[in-house]
């Protein structure tokens, strides 16, 4: 299956939607959405319309001519370059790239009001900025945290010491500038820390009550793995209707799968959890000054199979120097690179299957709503005090 596969026409279904919980608020949704887009100087690139029927509100999507020139085929990886957005130095330009990618989505991003949309954009900005600064010591067995902020218990995981700021603790654990050293933990756990950091930063102003419960949660018990996903994230896209392989929104948490059954058995090489930083780049936890492109990420994961070795005790491991040499040679050869991409830029096989799939996941992950009126974040030890509600996309 070649990676330039056809996708169904999602015109009119994706983009950004505002669906207020009460129909009487719908009249203000379109006006608010247009103001939001104008504030980012994007109004001329976007079509806006009211939504009628049983679920009224507003809908925004990219005009066809603009999308064809800047984000063809839902490919968001080149929009910052095409529009000359300075996303490393300008928060406004990073926000523009985030919103443009959301508007190009074949699956609608739905919010109950404009403040929730604004919170979602800021959280993505915070995640991108934190991911750029994050650097770790690779270790699939041991884990460590700054002792002046964290303590460990087998049943509770790493928790924040009472009276210590969760935000400061997360920064010290992941950002060498804040701590002066690299700490060892997996890329999966690192994505959890960066995500919680982005959420916590936004909650300080958007929902202080939830910010307090989040702080108490991490003083009580860490939320990890499946419980973390259920509490904080929403998956969009599906194996039945996968997202385009080159569609990413800055701040997305995503997984590149290792499609080679042998090398994927080595702990830490089952795949790679990263964030999309925008501007065609994905963060590199191990060499943060060298972010990945989609091409370099695919090529690296492909060559893990060639670094598969066995030590004197019969234990399998990946020799990173062998991998790097294979990557260097492949990237220097356009035909070899194209051949690797043809294999890797396919939607991954289902879990447990290693056949013709590549490394690209069918889905992405976004943070749940955070505003006080309708947050759908549920903390295990400190759940939402009031009844929650949601909007069907």
List, for residues 348-369, the tens digit of each pLDDT value: 999 888 999 999 999 999 999 9
Same structural domain, 213 and 126: yes
Q: How many domains are contained in the chain? A: 3
Note the pTM of the prediction, 2 decimals: 0.92
Q: Is residue 1 part of a domain?
A: no
List, for residues 74-120, the tens digit of each pLDDT value: 999 999 999 999 999 999 999 999 999 999 999 999 999 999 999 99
Same structural domain, 350 and 374: no
DSSP states of 39-105: HTT-GGGEEEEEE-TTS-EEEEEE-HHHHHHHSGGG--TTHHHHTT--TTT-HHHHHHHHHHHHHT-
| Residues 6 or more apart in contact with residue 106 via CB below 8 angstroms | 7, 10, 13, 14, 74, 243, 244, 247
| Residues 6 or more apart in contact with residue 158 via CB below 8 angstroms | 143, 145, 150, 151, 152, 222
**Mean of the pLDDT values across residues 227-252?**
95
Same structural domain, 41 and 90: yes
List, for residues 259-273, the tens digit of each pLDDT value: 999 999 999 899 999
Residue 389 predicted with pLDDT over 50: no
Q: Is residue 5 part of a domain?
A: no
Q: Using 50, 70 and 90 to split pLDDT, how confident is the model at 54?
A: low
Q: Is residue 265 part of a domain?
A: yes
Whole-number pLDDT of residue 185: 84
Same structural domain, 158 and 226: yes
Which structural domain, as residue segments, surrounds residue 283?
Answer: 248-362
Better-predicted residue by pLDDT, 25 or 83: 83
Determine contact, residues 18/113, Cβ cutoff 8 Å: yes
Whole-number pLDDT of residue 393: 43
Same structural domain, 206 and 143: yes
Q: Is residue 2 part of a domain?
A: no
**Mean of the pLDDT values across residues 127-154?**
90
């Amino acid at each position: 299956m070649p990676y330039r596969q056809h996708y169904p026409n999602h015109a009119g279904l994706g983009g950004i939607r505002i669906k207020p919980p009460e129909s009487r608020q719908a009249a203000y949704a379109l006006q608010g959405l247009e103001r939001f887009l104008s504030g980012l100087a994007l109004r001329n690139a976007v079509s806006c319309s009211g939504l009628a029927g049983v679920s009224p509100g507003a809908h925004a999507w990219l005009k066809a001519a603009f999308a064809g020139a800047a984000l063809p085929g839902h490919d968001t990886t080149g929009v910052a370059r095409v529009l000359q957005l300075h996303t490393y130095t300008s928060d406004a330009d990073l926000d523009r790239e985030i919103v443009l990618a959301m508007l190009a989505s074949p699956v609608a991003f739905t919010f109950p009001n404009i403040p929730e949309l604004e919170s979602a954009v800021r959280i993505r900005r915070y995640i991108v900025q934190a991911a750029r600064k994050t650097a770790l010591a690779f270790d699939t067995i041991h884990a460590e945290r700054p002792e002046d902020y964290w303590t460990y218990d087998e049943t509770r995981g790493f928790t924040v010491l009472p009276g210590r700021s969760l935000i400061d603790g997360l920064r010290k654990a992941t950002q060498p500038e804040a701590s002066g050293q690299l700490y060892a933990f997996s890329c999966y756990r690192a994505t959890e820390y960066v995500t919680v950091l982005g959420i916590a930063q936004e909650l300080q102003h958007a929902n202080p009550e939830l910010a307090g419960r989040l702080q108490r949660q991490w003083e009580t018990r860490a939320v990890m793995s499946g419980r973390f996903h259920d509490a904080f994230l929403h998956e969009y896209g599906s194996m039945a209707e996968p997202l385009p392989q080159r569609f990413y929104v800055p701040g997305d948490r995503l997984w590149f799968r290792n499609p080679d059954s042998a090398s994927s058995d080595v702990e830490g090489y089952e795949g790679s959890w990263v964030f999309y930083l925008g501007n065609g780049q994905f963060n590199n936890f191990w060499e943060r000054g060298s972010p990945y492109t989609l091409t370099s990420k695919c090529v690296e994961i492909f060559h893990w199979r060639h670094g598969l070795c066995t030590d004197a005790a019969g234990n399998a491991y990946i020799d990173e120097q062998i991998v790097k040499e294979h990557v260097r040679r492949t990237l220097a050869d356009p035909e070899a690179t194209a051949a690797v991409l043809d294999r890797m830029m396919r939607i991954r096989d289902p879990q447990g299957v290693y056949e013709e799939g590549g490394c690209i996941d069918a889905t992405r992950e976004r943070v749940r709503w955070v505003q006080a009126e309708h947050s759908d974040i549920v903390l295990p030890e400190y759940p939402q005090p009031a009844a929650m509600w949601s909007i069907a996309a």
